[in-house]
Structure 1
Amino acid sequence: MDNAHQAQAGRTVVVTGGTRGVGAGIVRTFAAAGADVLVCARRAPEVPLKNVEFAPLDLRDPPAVRAFFAALPRLDVLINNAGGAPYRPLAVADAEWHARVLDLNLTAPLTASLAAYDHLKRARGSIVMIGSVSGSRPSPGTAAYGAAKAGLEHLARSMAVEWAPEVRVNTLVVGMVRTEKAHLHYGDEEAIAAVSRTVPLGRLATPVDVGEAAVFLASDAAAYISGASLLVHGGGERPAFLDVAKVNEDSV
């Protein structure tokens, strides 16, 4: 076991929305590293996660969020993972619908972080925001989600300054991930393979890839890392122009 994993033994970690997909991968990775993991989400996991506690919580209900964190005996790490949005072009939904997306993906992590602050300050702990490449590029069909993730990354940098040196705050900027719902986003196996070829490393991330990065940022191995954004995207996306440009190799 490496130092990042060893450092989690005995720590209390809360993962919001950690019942499936990326969140479940994060939960499994921290649990395997020996952390005491508590998942909070609106719905319980369909398959219970081994050695992991679950607490029902609507993260868009600030009084309930404050009561949840106030009842914890201790907290060392907060992973703000809950979020997401269905595909919805801007003009086919009203402003109130888009505002709910912003609320879940930006306001809810702020609410949880504020509620957890006293615990984390005492523990000299850390927060890891689960961001997205959608926050740094156009996101047609998920524009409000992209805007929220851009705001989340900025929020993390401001928190890192205001709450230093007691609390470290960082963001994982996550690219495409192969979860149990991947077919809804990318299509069948042939389509997923085609999408994977656009990634320099040749595949989509797994939820555990994201979990390993989260364990690192929450560990003492990252003790001097705060206010940072770690790209977990396999090298990004191959520029589309490279597939259509006619390059004269003799000229370079």
Structure 2
Amino acid sequence: MALNIDLTGRVALVTGGARGIGRGISEVLLEAGATVVTCGRSEAEPPAGATHLLCDVRDADSVDALVAAIVADHGRLDLVVNNAGGAPYALAADASPRFHDKIIGLNLTSSLLVSQAANRVMQTQESGGSIVNISSVSANRPSPGTAAYGAAKAGLDALTTSLAQEWGPRVRVNAIDVGLVRTPDSADHYGGDATVAEIERTIPLGRMADTREIGGVAAFLASDLASYVSGATVACHGGGEQPVFLYVSQNHLKGETK
């Protein structure tokens, strides 16, 4: 029996859904039949078939207005993917309190604000709703240079389990711990295509994820196929990161055998 993800008739909000990983998620949800709304602080061109609204997800009033606009336009809200996030490289000793506050606000507090606003709608719907938080492998390992980001993502994983308990049975809440993903900015971010290729050789599956692969996991968690999945964190990292000592040791041995 074929198992298909069908989100026809469902209204989805993807924060930061016009670019990068968010765009891949939006594309997959659209193909599954969902009505998709993306949001961001600036104008952007979402995938064909989606609409884009302005919102600062760190601001509660802006978030409330966003959710109200979606419900006014579509009559409901069935799925939220809290994807907005990220952080530039900055050593913790050098970064300002304002910098840390912004990083934690974008990667943790914003997801709580959007989830709260969505939950108020979903709790009134007979079919309830689903919330998917886009977290990171940085939640579970050291994150030097992005310490506040890693701490925020660890908080997001913890938030996921708590909201699942508070808001069930009407609303399911899950997270995806995302590993390395290829985006149009990957080469610039990691220092060129050669460096990206070297990094990919350390991943068990031999490559970084495509953004749409993250979308596939999000679509599954939003679908009826995951009707009994809540409070879960799904690892989507291609097999995980090779321990540094093992990578160094293997390369040392390769050098000795040349």
On whether the aligned pair clears a TM of 0.5, the verdict is: yes
Equivalent pairs: percent with the same residue? Answer: 48
Alignment of structure 1 residues 161-200 onto 2, 5 Å:
161-200=165-204
Distance 1:3 1:65 in 2: 35
Determine the structure 2 residue equivalent to 1:16.
15
Distance change in 2, residues 1:116/1:48 (3 Å): closer
Structure 1 ranges of 4+ moved more than 3 A: none
What does residue 5 of structure 1 align with?
A: 5
The one-letter amino acid paired with 2:115 is: S
Task: Tell me the amino acid that sits aligned with residue 105 of structure 1.
Answer: N
Contact 2:20/2:184 (<8 A) preserved: yes
How has the CA–CA distance of structure 1 residues 65 and 4 changed in structure 2, closer, same or farther, with 3 Å as cutoff? farther
| Equivalent of 1:222 in 210, 220, 226 | 226
Please give the alpha-carbon distance, in whole angstroms, between the structure 1 residues aligned to 2:89 and 2:243: 23
Gap runs ≥5 in structure 2: 254-258
| Deviation for aligned residue 1:43 | 1.8
Name the counterpart of 1:157: 161
Distance 2:58 2:149 in 1: 15
For 1:91, what is the secondary structure of its paired residue? coil
1:70 Cα offset (Å): 2.3
Structure 2 counterpart SS, 1:203: coil
Asked if structure 2 preserves the Cα contact closer than 8 Å seen for 1:4 and 1:219, the reply is no
Indicate the residue corresponding to 1:82 in structure 2: 84
Taking structure 1 as the reference length, what is the TM-score of the superposition?
0.93
**SS in structure 1 of the partner of residue 204 of structure 2:** coil
Contact 2:22-2:83 at 8 Å conserved across structures: yes
In structure 1, the residue matched to 2:38 is 39
Q: Which amino acid aligns with 1:219?
A: S
Amino acid at match of 1:88: A
Distance 1:231 1:44 in 2: 31
Contact kept in structure 1, 2:63 and 2:117, CA below 8 Å: yes
Change (3 A) 1:41 1:4: farther
Q: Aligned match of 1:100 in 70, 82, 102?
A: 102
Q: Distance in 2 between matches of 1:99 and 1:42?
A: 18
Q: 1:185 offset after TM fit, Å?
A: 2.3
- Residues in 1 aligned to 2:242 and 2:57: alpha-carbon distance in whole angstroms: 36
Residue 125 (structure 1) aligned to one of 123, 129, 134: 129
Whether the aligned pair in 2 keeps the contact of 1:22 and 1:179 (CA below 8 Å) is: yes
Q: Residue type of the partner of 1:86? A: P
1:119 and 1:159 map into 2 onto residues whose CA distance is 15
Instruction: Specify the code of the residue in structure 2 equivalent to 1:55.
Output: L
- Which residue in 2 is equivalent to 1:28? 27
Unaligned runs of 5+ in 1: 248-252
- d(CA) in 2 for partners of 1:115, 1:131: 19
Distance, in Å, in 2 between the alignment partners of 1:48 and 1:115 is: 22
Report the aligned-residue RMSD. Answer: 1.5
Q: CA deviation at 1:4?
A: 4.7
* Aligned partner of residue 238 in structure 1, secondary structure: coil
Q: Secondary structure at the match of 2:64?
A: helix
Preserved CA contact (<8 Å) 2:5 2:225? no
Q: Which amino acid aligns with 2:47?
A: L
Question: Equivalent residue of 2:93, what SS?
Answer: helix
Aligned residues: 244
- CA displacement at 1:48 relative to structure 2: 4.0
- Which string of whole-angstrom CA distances, capped at 9 and with x for unpartnered residues, describes residues 71-93 of structure 1? 31200000000011111111222
Would the aligned equivalents of 1:19 and 1:44 in 2 still touch at CA under 8 Å? no
Q: Do the aligned partners of 1:4 and 1:216 also contact (CA within 8 Å) in 2? A: no
